[in-house]
Amino acid sequence: MKKIALSKINELYNEINGICNLFLPVKKAGSLDFAKYENGVEVDINTLQTVKSAKDFFFPQSEDMMSFKTDGKNIEIKDARQVVDTFVIFGVRACDVKSFEVLDKVFLAEPVDTMYKQKRENGIIFTLSCNNPHSSCFCKNFGIDAANPMGDVDCHIVADYLYLDAKTEKGSDILNKLTLLEDADSKVVEENKAEIVEKINALPFSNLDLSVFKGENLMPLFNRSEWDELSKACLGCGTCTFVCPTCQCFDIRDFKTNSGVVRFRCWDSCMYSEFTKMAAENPRTTQLQRFRQRFMHKLVYYPSKNDGLYSCVGCGRCVKKCPQMLNIVKVIKKLGGNN
């Protein structure tokens, strides 16, 4: 284990950025989101959560795939995918790290998504344990330990120091290149972890009842009458899907430019009325059906096909961001019996 005084942390950022591109939580216009490190940016690693998750680094909100140019009957096709160099994401929380496991099972399954794979292979994740979890957090329910985020390098802020613990070969390689770090005793970190666990256990949503959400209960859950009540206030705005670290729906579109056509993919939302709409029909025509689809996928469909791994990581972003105060916690409590 290594450590560095927090008073020298900007020096650490500069050293990492000298090795490869560094991205970390930056405050801008009153919001906190991951951004590239540059001198003068307002870095904030104490605020618990960014507005958008770190998913954007591996599965961007929008990315070009290819371009087409026609000349008479001739069509020129160019690969628009960009080569991604090694980069570091600093300050990723345990819930967002777990979301990568969910996304991996989608994008790294055959046929492998090469754009996603390249970014995952070249990304180095510096995680940060959660000293002060929010009341909206409920990651514990999904087997996530906010005290042990399990990135390539786990970081812990204790007193006036940042402690760094390599967990993978990628993590060890980059720590060995950092000259500002000094050796550290892990005892103080272990004590801090125990304090975090106590705080997590005391959160209001730390003991949700997920026992009913199993594949064998698919149809009974699907037909529950409570879906009508739960979905009535839903606006179909898609906010919950866009802040969610595990949502993976996307659309592929063509955009005509002066020099040809660009094909790109962008995030989509199962909460939209035109999602998966086809010429013949739309498979889900009501907001109740769309609302139910989202939460059944998170809690039943996905885990049934992925060895019990839920497609929710308990980050609480949907709890905080839904304008109608609808979220997965309400669904779990209503259908799970611990309401």
Residues 139-182 have pLDDT tens digits of: 999 999 999 999 999 999 999 999 999 999 999 999 999 999 99
Q: What pLDDT is attached to residue 338?
A: 56
φ/ψ (deg, to 5) at 119: -70, -40
Residues 48-67, mean pLDDT to the nearest whole number: 94
80 pLDDT band, cuts 50/70/90, is: confident
Q: What pLDDT is attached to residue 292?
A: 94
Residues 226-276 have pLDDT tens digits of: 999 999 999 999 999 999 999 999 999 999 888 889 999 999 999 988 887
Residues 185-223 have pLDDT tens digits of: 999 999 999 999 999 999 999 999 999 999 999 999 999
Q: What pLDDT is attached to residue 268?
A: 92
- Entry pTM: 0.91
pLDDT above 90 as % of the chain: 85
Q: What is the mean pLDDT of the chain?
A: 93
